[in-house]
Structure 1
Amino acid sequence: MISTPSVYVLKRATVEKCTPFLTHLLAASVHCLNFSSSSLFGQNVVSSSSVGSHENVAKMILEKRNAQEALRAFRLAESQPGFVHNCLTYRILIHKLGLQRRFKTVKKILHEMQTQGNCPPDETIFCTMVHDYGRAKMANEAVHVLNVMEELGCIPTIKVYNAILNVLVKHDFFVAKHFFRNTMMNSGISPNVYTFGILIKALCLLDRIWEAFRLLESMRHQGCEPSVVIYNTLIHAFCKKGKWDAGKGVMMKMMRSGCEPNEVTYHTLISGYCRLGELTEALELLENGVARGYFPDVITITKLIDALCEEGRADEAAQLMQQMEAKGCVTDVIAHNTLIKGLCKANKTESAHKILKGMANKGTTPNVASYNALIGGLCKDGKIDRAAAMVGEMEKNGCKPDAVTYNTLIHAFCIQDKVEEAFKLFDMMKERECTPELVTYYMLIYGLYRQSRVQEAFKFINEMKCKGSFPDTVTYSLQIHELCKQNKVAAAEDLLGEMSIRGHIPDVVTYSILIDGLCKRGHLVKAFDLLNRILIHMIF
């Protein structure tokens, strides 16, 4: 074997004296020597010192594409002078083999670990094996890990039993229950809090909540105190079934036992009461929690704000946000948008605007939904010019208006018969490369129709069609509308049929126009028949 100094001398002599051909040949030889000593584990060159790190070897094994390559890298690593595998590298290899169901090879590796003596398999190795059996849907084989441990002279631990139990409950609860009673309990190992947690969670998922509750009582009698996770599992299960009071009862029980509720506990119950509209209970729970040092997360705060706004209590929602922020709770753009919508719904657009402007001071940047909520509220309040001015404010703050922004304003201007302003926004929309939607065209044409500017409406249609940007569905809908206005309902029905034949799917606006025309003409049977056709189309 050529030593490192010899390689250096050889390379230098080659560069200075050899012919180009020999230079190429010797450089290739040197590359091979370097590769054989340091590039055995992948495409990247790895120094011999880095190979000596168990973490590096474990990483290389894990990154291999398949089990065969992983095993090869494992063997190459152990061939390096002074390198000896430890439990980490063995565990990673076993996991890699298990992922590809190479369980026979796994057993051979386990025997190898046991016979070599320097790194006998521990509980972590066997738990990894159990998890891989579970992932492979091989629950029965997971139980047989106990036999493998016996063969190797290893004593099963509570962690291994819990790992097996966790696999079994996902496969068949009856089998899991049998394993718990007849195998685990007879092994001389006492179940711990994780054991009961696995069983209680499984019972809750099976909607056997009261059975899970009885098991909670049973574990306490066995001297095993339930954890906050177990209590939360039960609370969540009760709340999911709509039994909020039972969930709150579990919370009271946990507090009496000295187990303090955490964020999950409060969030589960507060969210549930908000869904029920029981805001008094939700706010009382929040107040009690804050007094005990609980700080709600942004999701819980948003739920409460939304529930308050839905009940028309937007001012209280604003106060709640202010109080929670004063206590150090974090709020985000979604929480603020929820509050802005609620305030606008309550016709409190001034307050909503203050919230929006104050967001930046808190480090929360308003997004397009923030501005759209306020613009919608201002339009609803009849403050259209001010709403339109918000577009400039948006752009100034680096927020690009979207189709919702423009459509909201276009609709508001059309309703107030300010069609010219609506068309200015339409032009701006296209200039800003914001694609108009079907509803955009409908609103503009509706605005023209409101002012009896029918010829201008058709001129607009023709202009858009020439540019290739006008949907055919709108054209048909307008023609149907015009025929219905002229009491030519039969012709309108024929046109609807032609529309479908030509592959243009009528939308809700098209159907609404024709149904309205039929009703005005007294053709109620035909109108109901058309409505039934729409419903059938929606279902199937």
Structure 2
Amino acid sequence: MRTHDWFSRKKDCDDKGDPEAVFNVLDSMLKDSLERLKNMRESIPLENVGFDSCTLEAVNSRHATLFGCLCSEGKWKTALWLRRKLIQKGAVLDVFAHNLLLNGLCKIRDMERPDCLIREMLEMGPPPNLVTYNTFIKAHCLKNNVDKALYLFSTMATDGIRPNRVTCNTLVHALCKKGLVDDAKKLLCETLSDDKEKTNSDLITSTILMDCYFRSGDTVQALGFWDQMLHKNIQIDLVAYNVLIHGLCLGQHINVAYGNFAEILKRGFIPDCFTFNTLISALCKEGKVEEACHIHDVMLKMGVAPDKISYKMIIQGLCFRGDLVKAIEFLNCLLEKSLMPEPLIWNLIIDGYGRCGDLGNALSVNNHMLSLGVAPNVFTFNALILAQIKGGNNVRAYSLKKEMLLNGLFPDLVTYNMLISAACISGHIAFALDLYDEMLRKGIEPDIITYTELIRGYCMRGNVKEAEKLSTKMRRSGSQIDHVPCKILIKKYCHLGEHDMAFHLYQNWLMREK
């Protein structure tokens, strides 16, 4: 009726106007009104709408879940964009959602964005809580930025947040890694006077400090923390035992470590791979490879699967001892378990055969490595070059140097030293000098082995004057010189009957030593 009146009052308007045009106008007005209403509702913050706590909790839970999924997939840029859009739409994100986003940002180790997020939380809300600070402090500690972590720790009290054992243990661990054990103990004493979870917390803190003292070589202080844990009847876990055994092995107290290994079994714990690897490492360093192999057998009997580190240490120990047959057996065990050995393990076995002059087995292991898709590196070629030289195939050894270049690898100092030595021994001093000039052109600095082999080559050819010139050049270059070049020259002068020159050279060497 109003529309009818409105149209009828217009000039030159017929009461019998087109009703379809009238309703089109009404439809347009209604759409505009609904659009304005939608925009108004979206601009009103959720806390002013009157939602109850259950609704807000559900909304925040959905936001937090979404942020957690995005950050876990590494889509932190999308998460930041979503947060910005939600805030623009008036959504209220709680501190839990912010903490999930902060944790994801800290994982990318770019502290600028987490820092901006913290500042926005302090300015606009929600205020950071204990989890926020713990996350940020841990991120700075992982980046070795302990000063910034300590600054954040000091600002917690200003914001009315009391640090807990997680905060303190994170800082204690970071300070211990930097060798500041006394500062870590002082922080621990000043910060934590009472704690509801004191038993578990004392275990973690004492384990961290005990590990730090072991690594710094202070075994007495470390064992003092262990005695405190036993005196307080703290429920000690496998991690603490692993730290104790590792520390004792570092101090070469292998027998005491064995005793504590037995204690683990008495307490009903099952030693893990780290426990066994610690013992294997200590035994291999002491040359007790057979005992290390026995530990490997014990692992299998107890149902603990050896990992790549276990096999790597045992194979390395066997190769150093020259027991290549057993090293191959462990290599085959590794392959049977579908654990692909890293190039270092292959190189150790190839190098072991090369040093024994067993060219056939060295090439066989190399071919096996290539068949499994493991690319050779410089060390692999150096091991094969050594095997060829030991087998008297100098020409093939030199061709391997060219093959390195075809594989995109560049000969290093070890490569040139082996080839120069082989050339000098075979009497090809000119070829050795060509190799020497080549390495200088490529920017590889010769060392004492290079000069020693060239001096030996000159002396073998009877060219003592050139050998002495090279010895003088070596001294002037500032290279570390040992007695070997001097001994070669003295021996050659004595062989030529020039005893005065030999005695003069010997006196010069004694004067240099003083």
User: Partner of 1:277: helix, strand, or coil?
Assistant: coil
Give the whole-Å Cα distance in 2 for the aligned partners of 1:127 and 1:456: 66
Aligned to 2:210: 235
Say whether 1:143 aligns with 2:152.
Answer: no
The alpha-carbon deviation at position 282 of structure 1 amounts to 1.4
Structure 1 pair 74/135, CA: closer, same or farther in 2 (3 Å)? Answer: farther
Deviations 1:365-423 (A, max 9, x none): 12221111122323344434322322122212222232222222322443454434534
Aligned to 2:115: 99
Give the whole-Å Cα distance in 2 for the aligned partners of 1:336 and 1:327: 17
Q: Does the aligned pair in 1 maintain the 2:60–2:93 contact within 8 Å? A: no
Say whether 1:288 aligns with 2:297.
Answer: no
Deviations 1:70-117 (A, max 9, x none): 996464130xxxx444444577899999824986x756535xx7xxxx
Match of 1:109 among 113, 119, 124: 124
Say whether 1:225 aligns with 2:199.
Answer: yes
The alpha-carbon deviation at position 259 of structure 1 amounts to 3.3
Q: Does the aligned pair in 2 maintain the 1:341–1:377 contact within 8 Å? A: no
Say whether 1:260 aligns with 2:235.
Answer: yes
Aligned to 2:300: 325
Give the whole-Å Cα distance in 1 for the aligned partners of 2:101 and 2:184: 40
Give the whole-Å Cα distance in 1 for the aligned partners of 2:378 and 2:174: 47
Match of 1:486 among 463, 481, 486: 463
Identity %: 19
Gaps of 5+ in 2: 1-35, 44-58, 104-111, 141-146, 494-501
Q: Does the aligned pair in 2 maintain the 1:388–1:409 contact within 8 Å? A: yes
Look up the equivalent residue of 1:379 and give its one-letter code. G
Look up the equivalent residue of 1:492 and give its one-letter code. K
Q: Does the aligned pair in 2 maintain the 1:91–1:128 contact within 8 Å? A: no
The alpha-carbon deviation at position 125 of structure 1 amounts to 8.3
Structure 1 pair 232/309, CA: closer, same or farther in 2 (3 Å)? Answer: same
Say whether 1:404 aligns with 2:379.
Answer: yes
Look up the equivalent residue of 2:115 and give its one-letter code. L
Give the whole-Å Cα distance in 1 for the aligned partners of 2:192 and 2:88: 54
Q: Does the aligned pair in 2 maintain the 1:263–1:294 contact within 8 Å? A: yes
Aligned to 2:89: 77
Structure 1 pair 338/72, CA: closer, same or farther in 2 (3 Å)? Answer: closer
Give the whole-Å Cα distance in 2 for the aligned partners of 1:90 and 1:199: 23
Q: Does the aligned pair in 1 maintain the 2:199–2:234 contact within 8 Å? A: no
Structure 1 pair 491/353, CA: closer, same or farther in 2 (3 Å)? Answer: closer
Deviations 1:216-246 (A, max 9, x none): 99979x9953532133134224424534355
The alpha-carbon deviation at position 434 of structure 1 amounts to 3.8
Structure 1 pair 471/162, CA: closer, same or farther in 2 (3 Å)? Answer: closer
Give the whole-Å Cα distance in 2 for the aligned partners of 1:294 and 1:201: 25
Structure 1 pair 317/137, CA: closer, same or farther in 2 (3 Å)? Answer: same
The alpha-carbon deviation at position 473 of structure 1 amounts to 5.6
Give the whole-Å Cα distance in 1 for the aligned partners of 2:467 and 2:278: 52
Deviations 1:168-226 (A, max 9, x none): xxxxxxxxxxxxxxxxxxxxxxxxx6698689879974427998999999979x99535
Aligned to 2:351: 376
Look up the equivalent residue of 1:355 and give its one-letter code. F
Say whether 1:162 aligns with 2:163.
Answer: yes
Aligned to 2:310: 335
Aligned to 2:18: none
Structure 1 pair 356/442, CA: closer, same or farther in 2 (3 Å)? Answer: same
Q: Does the aligned pair in 2 maintain the 1:378–1:387 contact within 8 Å? A: yes
Q: Does the aligned pair in 2 maintain the 1:422–1:444 contact within 8 Å? A: yes
Structure 1 pair 257/413, CA: closer, same or farther in 2 (3 Å)? Answer: same
Give the whole-Å Cα distance in 1 for the aligned partners of 2:402 and 2:132: 68
The alpha-carbon deviation at position 317 of structure 1 amounts to 0.5
Say whether 1:356 aligns with 2:358.
Answer: no
Give the whole-Å Cα distance in 2 for the aligned partners of 1:241 and 1:356: 35
Number of equivalences? 422
Structure 1 pair 323/245, CA: closer, same or farther in 2 (3 Å)? Answer: farther
Superposition pairs of residues 58-77 of structure 1, within 5 angstroms: 73=85, 75-77=87-89
Higher mean C-alpha displacement, 315-324 vs 246-255: 246-255
Look up the equivalent residue of 2:235 and give its one-letter code. E
Say whether 1:54 aligns with 2:63.
Answer: yes
Q: If the length of structure 1 is used for normalisation, what is the TM-score?
A: 0.60
The alpha-carbon deviation at position 285 of structure 1 amounts to 1.6
Give the whole-Å Cα distance in 2 for the aligned partners of 1:433 and 1:296: 44
Q: Does the aligned pair in 2 maintain the 1:309–1:339 contact within 8 Å? A: yes
Gaps of 5+ in 1: 1-32, 41-49, 114-120, 147-159, 164-192, 533-540
Q: CA RMSD in A?
A: 5.5
Aligned to 2:29: none
Superposition pairs of residues 16-35 of structure 1, within 5 angstroms: none
Q: Does the aligned pair in 2 maintain the 1:101–1:136 contact within 8 Å? A: no
Q: Does the aligned pair in 1 maintain the 2:206–2:229 contact within 8 Å? A: yes
Structure 1 pair 302/382, CA: closer, same or farther in 2 (3 Å)? Answer: farther
Structure 1 pair 92/446, CA: closer, same or farther in 2 (3 Å)? Answer: closer
Structure 1 pair 426/376, CA: closer, same or farther in 2 (3 Å)? Answer: same
Q: If the length of structure 2 is used for normalisation, what is the TM-score?
A: 0.62
The alpha-carbon deviation at position 307 of structure 1 amounts to 1.7
Deviations 1:128-185 (A, max 9, x none): 8996996593666543323xxxxxxxxxxxxx2226xxxxxxxxxxxxxxxxxxxxxx
